[in-house]
């Protein structure tokens, strides 16, 4: 099997498996006051400190969640509700047009059900947000009516990395909370919460070698969203629910290893990615690379293949033992063009005829060679099928 879908989920690191397994057989609710509860709490708090250290945050800013989607919803909905409660005039939300559906759909829900006035921040043909455009959208009023700005750190489909620090500085200049979904970025690039200037930042365990079903929302001091979940008041009374000690331990182990390898892995993945792009385009000369060719995730290669349907390419490659994606795994199986490519100005045909190849910590040159050998015949067969 050739696995080229690390952006959907990446294999757990051995250290994360070991840390999680060690906790699975142990008793203890970290909210209990007896000995086994205190032991579980110690594991949680030590994990919190590891994660905070890796991402340039304070331990008190680490809020554990059930994954990236929950963290995004908590940030987007919770901050909107809190800002509107403080000032009913704050109903505008500025959101990137190419966000992951965890943000996209949460923002749209606020528009449909909570009276939010949503304005989608445009991107250029490479998927980049222009800070000057955001400044213009804030307007002469200084953003007094804006509840939130949210722009992802790096795009999950085409890999384009956004000028997050510049956008966060612009938001802070106008006293507007800024959220960024860093789920994809954290697996491959140094992510510094305090350094970025963001008020809220989303992470997910299974994207960076940790377990499924656990995530983190980093919340700066003074940023207090209205909770989405109510119950026992865990996690600063922001996210109620019994903490998953084994998953948190596994996440912390994965974060510690991943953060120690950021620079080394970025170099190796970038070289492997460039080789993949070159060999695919040599086999299919009219293939089109999508996204920023320079400011992109090290492990991301997103290409369009004229005259092909992405789903057909996906299944033909899968039959040859090569696993990739037509886009976000969270919207896989939905027969519609990528909203990311459409926002970048691509037509529906190009948007439907695209594949994402994403590399990770287990990727090798043999994976690239397997794809290079298969892609030419696969594209030719898909084009023939499209003409029949």
Nearest-angstrom CA–CA distance, 172 and 149: 10
280-293 pLDDT tens trace = 999 999 999 999 99
Give mean pLDDT, residues 343-363: 96
Gap between the Cα atoms of 90 and 98, Å rounded = 23
Label residue 336 by pLDDT band (50, 70, 90): confident
Task: Find the DSSP H helices in 239-338.
Answer: 245-260, 262-283, 310-319
Tokens describing residue 361: 């910590």
pLDDT band at 319 (very low <50, low <70, confident <90, very high): very high
How far, in Å, CA of 256 to CA of 13, rounded?
A: 11
Helices (H) and strands (E) in the chain, counts: 14, 12
Pairing of the two strands 215-219 and 62-65: antiparallel
Dihedrals phi, psi of 25, to nearest 5 degrees: -95, 5
* Average of per-residue pLDDT values in the chain: 95
φ/ψ bin of 307: left (φ > 0), alpha (ψ from -120 to 50), beta (otherwise): left
pLDDT at 330: 54
Residue 310 has pLDDT above 80, yes or no: yes
Residue 114, C-beta contacts closer than 8 angstroms, at least 6 positions apart: 77, 80, 81, 84
Q: Which H helix or E strand runs over 155?
A: none
Q: Per CATH, which fold does 2-10+262-387 belong to?
A: 3.90.1150
- pLDDT band per the 50, 70, 90 thresholds, residue 329: low
**pLDDT surpasses 60 at 333:** no
308 catalytic? Reply is: no
Span 45-61, average pLDDT: 98
Alpha helices in 334-364 (DSSP H): 339-343, 348-352
Q: Is the pLDDT of residue 150 over 90?
A: yes
Q: Name which residue leads in pLDDT, 137 or 140.
A: 137
In residues, how long is the chain?
Answer: 388
- Indicate the pLDDT class of residue 151, thresholds 50, 70 and 90: very high
31: left (phi over 0), alpha (psi -120 to 50) or beta: alpha
Q: Which ranges in the chain are annotated with CATH 3.90.1150.10?
A: 2-10+262-387
Q: Give the pLDDT band (50/70/90) at residue 253.
A: very high
Query: In 3D, which of 38, 109, 97 has the Cα closest to residue 69?
Result: 109
The confidence score (pLDDT) of residue 205 equals 98
pLDDT at 303 > cutoff 60 = yes
Instruction: Choose the catalytic residue: 229, 266, 329, 330.
Output: 330
Kindly indicate the confidence band of residue 385, based on its pLDDT and cuts at 50, 70 and 90. Answer: confident
Q: Is the pLDDT of residue 324 over 90?
A: yes
The CATH 3.40.640.10 portion of the chain extends over 14-260
What mean pLDDT is predicted for residues 49-68? 98
Which of the listed CATH numbers 3.30.1450.10, 1.20.210.10, 3.30.70.20, 3.40.640.10 matches domain 14-260? 3.40.640.10
Pick from 203, 140, 138, 202: nearest CA to 176 = 138
Question: Which two structure tokens, joined as six digits, stand for 385?
Answer: 């099928």
């Amino acid at each position: 099997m050739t696995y080229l879908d690390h952006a959907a989920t990446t294999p757990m690191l051995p250290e994360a498996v070991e840390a999680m397994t060690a906790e699975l057989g142990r008793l203890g609710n970290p909210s209990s006051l007896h000995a086994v509860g205190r032991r579980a709490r110690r594991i949680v708090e030590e994990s919190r400190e590891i994660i905070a250290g890796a991402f340039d945050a304070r331990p008190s800013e680490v809020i554990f969640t059930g994954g990236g989607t929950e963290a995004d919803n908590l940030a987007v909905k919770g901050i909107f509700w809190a800002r509107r409660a403080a000032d009913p005039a704050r109903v505008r939300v500025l959101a990137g047009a190419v966000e992951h559906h965890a943000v996209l759909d949460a923002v749209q829900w606020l528009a449909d059900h909570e009276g939010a006035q949503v304005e989608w921040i445009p991107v250029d043909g490479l998927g980049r947000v222009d800070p000057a455009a955001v400044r213009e959208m804030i307007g002469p009023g200084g953003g007094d009516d804006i509840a939130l700005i949210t722009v992802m750190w790096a795009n999950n489909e085409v890999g384009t990395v956004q000028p997050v620090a510049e956008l966060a500085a612009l938001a802070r200049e106008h006293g507007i909370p800024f959220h960024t979904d860093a789920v994809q970025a954290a697996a491959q690039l140094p992510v510094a919460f305090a350094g970025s200037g963001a008020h809220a930042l989303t992470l997910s365990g299974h994207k960076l070698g940790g377990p499924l079903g656990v995530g983190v929302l980093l919340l700066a001091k003074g940023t207090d969203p209205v909770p989405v979940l109510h119950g026992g008041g865990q996690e600063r009374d922001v996210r109620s629910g019994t903490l998953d000690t084994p998953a948190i331990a596994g996440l912390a182990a994965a974060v510690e290893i991943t953060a120690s390898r950021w620079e080394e892995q970025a170099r190796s993945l970038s070289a492997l990615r460039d080789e993949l792009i070159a060999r695919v385009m040599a086999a299919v000369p009219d293939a089109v690379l999508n996204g920023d060719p320079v400011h992109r995730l090290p492990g991301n290669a997103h290409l369009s293949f004229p005259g092909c349907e992405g789903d057909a390419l996906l299944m033909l490659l899968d039959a040859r033992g090569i696993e990739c994606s037509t886009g976000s795994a969270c919207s896989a199986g939905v027969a519609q063009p990528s909203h990311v490519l459409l926002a970048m100005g691509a037509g529906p045909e190009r948007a439907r005829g695209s594949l994402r190849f994403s590399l990770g910590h287990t990727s090798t040159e043999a994976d690239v060679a397997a794809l290079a050998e298969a892609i030419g015949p696969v594209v030719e067969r898909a084009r023939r099928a499209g003409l029949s």
